[in-house]
């Protein structure tokens, strides 16, 4: 049986990403979904972006790259093209890790403030989706699941939900259970351990804040983590 792997917020932690991917027992029919916020804060956003591009190029049908709110802020500044309707000020991205990201492209201040998007980062932006649903013919047991960066709008189809919600939501989504039967698999809100409510599974475990980088295997509901110090562990959710 094929699996869907979701990988939480990487935030420029390139070495931890490499450790995690090396540990995952991914099969040739598995799909890997990267839940966004691959960039910012950590030291190696460029390395992360190029590893995700390599994952996509090796198997584009089984690699899903999602927008995160950090990609949205970066694309808004560097290209002016981004899915959210939010109008950011000129320093929102830099206050949230944009300087570290541009340093990984060897652009120190003041060079980092130029509105020139590196070619590999622009290509990465061009491949991003705001959500993903597993094809029912391949994954019928996951028909009730949706993969997004931040969360969903209760009682509303994900196809009709604003990217502002999919990339930024917290309170309304986290505090009020979704009674529709849908399970939302998401990152965005960091927690010490993965959170499994009956309507959502959150796997942002603060990789850029000394936490592990987490992957979720579905439908097996199994957790795999790369820990600080480049060690790994796995356990059932």
From 79, 186, 63, select the one nearest 123 (Cα to Cα). 79
State pLDDT tens for residues 140-171: 999 999 999 999 999 899 999 999 999 999 99
Residue 40 Ramachandran class (φ > 0 left, ψ -120 to 50 alpha, else beta): left
The helix (run of H) or strand (run of E) holding residue 132 is none
Cis upstream peptide for 219 (omega within 30°) = yes
- If the chain, 237 residues long, is cut into consecutive pieces of 10 residues, what is the mean pLDDT of each piece? 97 98 98 98 98 98 98 98 96 96 97 96 98 96 98 95 97 91 97 96 96 98 95 97
CA pair distance 225, 235, nearest whole angstrom: 9
Domain boundaries, the chain: 4-65+129-236
From 30, 44, 69, select the one nearest 215 (Cα to Cα). 30
CATH number of this structure's domain 4-65+129-236, picked from the four choices 3.30.470.20, 3.60.21.10, 3.40.30.10, 3.40.50.720: 3.60.21.10
What pLDDT was estimated at residue 230? 87
What pLDDT was estimated at residue 155? 87
What pLDDT was estimated at residue 1? 87
């Amino acid at each position: 049986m094929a699996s869907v792997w979701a990988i939480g917020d990487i935030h420029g932690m390139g070495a931890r990403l490499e450790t995690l991917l090396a540990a995952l027992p991914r099969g040739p029919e598995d799909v890997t979904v990267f839940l966004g916020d691959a960039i910012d804060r950590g030291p190696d956003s460029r390395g992360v972006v190029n590893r995700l591009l390599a994952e996509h190029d090796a198997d584009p049908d089984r690699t899903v790259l999602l927008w995160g709110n950090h990609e949205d802020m970066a694309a808004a500044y560097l290209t002016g093209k981004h899915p959210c309707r939010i109008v950011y000020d000129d320093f929102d991205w830099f206050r949230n890790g944009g300087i570290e990201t541009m340093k990984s492209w060897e652009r120190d201040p003041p060079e980092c403030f130029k509105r020139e998007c590196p070619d590999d980062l622009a290509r990465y932006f061009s491949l991003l989706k705001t959500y993903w649903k597993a094809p029912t013919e391949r994954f019928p047991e996951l028909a009730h699941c949706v993969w997004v960066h931040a969360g969903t709008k209760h009682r509303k189809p994900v196809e009709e939900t604003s990217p502002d919600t999919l990339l930024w939501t917290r309170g309304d989504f986290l505090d009020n259970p979704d009674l529709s039967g849908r399970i939302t698999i998401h990152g965005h809100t960091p927690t010490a351990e993965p959170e499994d409510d009956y309507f959502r599974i959150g796997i942002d475990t603060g990789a850029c804040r000394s936490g592990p980088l987490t992957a979720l295997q579905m439908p097996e509901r199994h957790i795999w983590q790369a820990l600080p110090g480049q060690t790994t562990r796995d356990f059932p959710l």
